[in-house]
Structure 1
Amino acid sequence: MNRIRAMTSLTVPAMMALLMAPLDAAVAEEAKPAPAPKPSPLDFHLQVRVNTLAEGKHDAFLDDYRFESILAVPGVSGQLTPWFSYAFSGVGSAESFDSAQVRVLDAVGMFKLADPLQIWVGRFVVPFDRFNLSGPFRNLIWNYPGFYGGVRRVGGENGLFGRDTGISVWGSLSEGLFKYQLMVHQLENRDAGPRLSGRLSVSLLGREPGYFVSSSYLGEKDVLALGVAMQYQHDGRTWTPGPPLGTPPPPADAPVSQQVDDLLAVTADLFAEKNFGSMGTATLDLAYYHYDEHRNYQRAYAITAAYIPPLKLGAGRTQLGLRWEEAFASRLQPQLSDVRGLDVSVSHFFSGYNLRLGLDYSRQWLGSEGVANTVSVGFQYGLP
């Protein structure tokens, strides 16, 4: 009876508040943000890239059709403690069944003391230009830049697939507003000093706080980023002087005179991407390279532009890309010609970079080697 008298003595608003209290508590519980997923100690991932091409050399448009390559990258990664994670991956590459090769791609331990101070040890991507840090699986244009006549003539001074073995100290401030990356690598080379690679970058709009970047975010965020980088190695450049201009090439059995000098490479890049909503997404990427004069090609640049139209063609989205690049021979190599290339690319992303179909037409002017035309058709699959 006393409880009934107590309840009847309550006002109507007070009684409503008492009855709604359990419901309010339930709603408040649902409104709480979901807890962050626990880091997994073991994640499996797989990336596959298949490329076929038709090419024409010496100004023939297309006279050779062939399967070019397949690249498969299986790997595992995970976070064992709040401050330590790891990544290990292998790579299988082949131009034919007889030429298949399998090797280690990445093997790295990652120590994170804080966002501004992280240490990587092992074999991993060298932090130089933006193309290397986005890798072949997240490049805007299907064909990788810097290759002329099938030979890599522009890019970072590093090992196969853009990797090297070494130690990196890097970090980001203000969630990626500013980022620095410094790597000491090629420590196994006893004939030269260690190679140093360093990169500084700033992201003024959408941030890029991670070690890697992308050549396009497919309209998912707006980005305006500027980066500069340098590589240096004492006695790291072995070069062979070319014959003086106007003189005949030396006989094939003539002794080769090699010289050793310091290696120096610098680069700068500007990346901008903007999603204009119903007007589509536009991308612009500018890159410049300058090397010591003992490198065969001393200067180079690349201009890349892309557009994602607002029209949807089935599942996913389509990106149109255009790239112009040039490389200029060193004055110490008068027998070499300046080279330049044009790429026109169309890629359809069914599920982002995890499922992509690409078509690329390339025309390259190779000086004394003539003109080369290439049409590449590629398929890319990734298992996150």
Structure 2
Amino acid sequence: MRLMLRCRTLLPPVYLVWGLIAPVAVYAGGIIKIDDTKSISIGAGLRTSFNSVENGAPNGTDSSNTFQLDSIRLYLGGQVTKDIHLTFNTERQSDGTTRVLDGIAQFAFSDIFNVWAGRFYLPSDRSNLSGPYYLATWDFPFVSRYPAIFAGRDDGLAVWGQTGGGKFKYQVGAFQGRNGALTSNQSGNLLYVGRLTFDLWDPEPGYYNASTYYGAKDILAFGLTAMSQADGVGTPATPGNYNGSSIDTLMEKKLGSDALSLEGAYYNYDTGGVMDPAPPIGQGLIDGHGYFVQVGYLFGQKYGPGQLQPHVRYQNLVVTGDSVNRKRYDLGLNYILDGHNALVSLIYARDNNGTTKNSNIIQVGMQLQI
């Protein structure tokens, strides 16, 4: 059996799912071809940043100044047959240990009917389905507070499909959610999730999406999500039912060589007033609501090897019964060298968590993918 290594620029390993469906984003990866149907893909991603947070030092009065490795990932994918694929991705955690990020068995029967099983992104909101590498901003929105076992993922099974090349998508699934002997869920109830996505302009094919396409598409999309789990919050002594829902939208329009993007989402979380403990017993799920709005503008002209994309984001999260009303303003500038594969971000943020002093934050982040 002969192995052949070649470069590929159309399929990212993390999205090596489709024989029939194009991915939502592009970056280079290596493909080891085994035979006419079987192959293995290899890739990697890295995000690292410098963060200065007012009053963030251990003494509570000075600014903290820290360099951190936000994320480093190894992407592995494989094609078993034309319609059967697998994905295995890992994430290095801040404590130096490595954890399984994705482990997915993928069956692509047709555009309208696909089955995924294992550990993967829940079909929740656009931000989660973009993941940190495909957002238009550096930090993940804190108003997105859906349950997850790790990094927006959970163990379970989902059925999904699309029509119009990705103009309409449905995604439904059952996941573990809150489960275990010491948790509020003593009856083994599953977390049920559903999402509908409508694209009125260009389609967004595939299970995932992005929060910006850097002017490669004209997007006008709306997403609706709902999830529910009996005994999904609280403790064994005081369990409560969890219900979450959201609506999100993205408009990105090419204006000559420039591109304007507008994004927003509204979230509602209902625990019936039951307080949820922090990990490892709970997940710190909230009873409340939140939203964010975001504006970005990509300049088509190049400044050196890259393009500039300034952006502004506002977030607001209200926690019922806990007197928390957190607000944050972000003013950022992305320097785009190669789409989501190579970029540098500069961010100034003002964060008011509703309980302590306002914090002024400065971040410089760098992201690379192959």
Give the TM-score range, shorter chain. Answer: 0.7 to 0.9
Q: Does residue 1:223 correspond to 2:219, yes or no? A: yes
Q: What is the one-letter code of the residue matched to 1:291?
A: Y
> What is the identity percentage for the equivalent residue pairs of Structure 1 and Structure 2?
28
* Structure with the higher helix share, 1 or 2: 1
Equivalence for 2:352: 365
Aligned equivalents of 1:168, 1:127: Cα separation in 2: 8
Equivalence for 2:183: none
Q: Does residue 1:291 correspond to 2:278, yes or no? A: no
Q: Select which of 239, 252, 269 maps to 2:248.
A: 269
Larger radius of gyration: 1
Q: Give CA deviations for 1:331-357 in whole Å, capped at 9, x if unaligned.
A: xx24x3211100111111111111111
Q: CA RMSD in A?
A: 2.3
Q: Give CA deviations for 1:205-229 in whole Å, capped at 9, x if unaligned.
A: 1101210000000000101100000
Aligned equivalents of 1:282, 1:223: Cα separation in 2: 10
Equivalence for 1:175: 165
Q: Give CA deviations for 1:31-60 in whole Å, capped at 9, x if unaligned.
A: xxxxx99766111010011122011038x9
Distance 1:138 1:187, change over 3 A: closer
SS at match of 2:151: helix
Q: What is the one-letter code of the residue matched to 1:71?
A: S
Q: Does residue 1:343 correspond to 2:330, yes or no? A: yes
Shift of residue 259, structure 1, vs aligned partner: 2.1
- The alignment's TM-score, normalised by the length of structure 1, stands at 0.78
1:303–1:325 Cα contact (<8 Å) kept: yes
1:129–1:155 Cα contact (<8 Å) kept: no
Q: Give CA deviations for 1:285-341 in whole Å, capped at 9, x if unaligned.
A: 1100001143535110000110012331111322111100101121xx24x321110
Equivalence for 1:317: 307
Q: Give CA deviations for 1:57-114 in whole Å, capped at 9, x if unaligned.
A: 38x99722111333111121122211101110111122xxxx2121111110100110
Q: Does residue 1:207 correspond to 2:203, yes or no? A: yes
2:262–2:294 Cα contact (<8 Å) kept: yes
Aligned equivalents of 2:345, 2:37: Cα separation in 1: 34
Q: Select which of 45, 51, 70 maps to 2:43.
A: 45
Distance 1:188 1:53, change over 3 A: closer
Equivalence for 1:27: none
- The alignment's TM-score, normalised by the length of structure 2, stands at 0.81
Shift of residue 370, structure 1, vs aligned partner: 1.6
Equivalence for 1:377: 364
2:352–2:358 Cα contact (<8 Å) kept: yes
2:197–2:222 Cα contact (<8 Å) kept: yes
Aligned equivalents of 1:231, 1:361: Cα separation in 2: 34
Q: Select which of 260, 266, 273 maps to 1:282.
A: 260
Runs of 4+ in 1 over 4 A off after TM superposition: 36-40
Aligned equivalents of 2:259, 2:353: Cα separation in 1: 33
Unaligned runs of 5+ in 2: 1-21, 23-32, 181-185, 274-284
Distance 1:314 1:61, change over 3 A: farther
- Aligned pairs for 1:1-384 (under 5 A) are 41-57=39-55, 63-94=63-94, 99-146=95-142, 154-186=144-176, 189-190=179-180, 191=186, 192-238=188-234, 259-278=238-257, 280-292=258-270, 293-294=272-273, 296-330=286-320, 333-334=321-322, 336-383=323-370
Distance 1:324 1:61, change over 3 A: farther
SS at match of 1:131: helix
Instruction: Flag the structure with more relative contact order, 1 or 2, with Cα contacts below 8 A and sequence separation at least 6.
Output: 1
Shift of residue 164, structure 1, vs aligned partner: 0.6
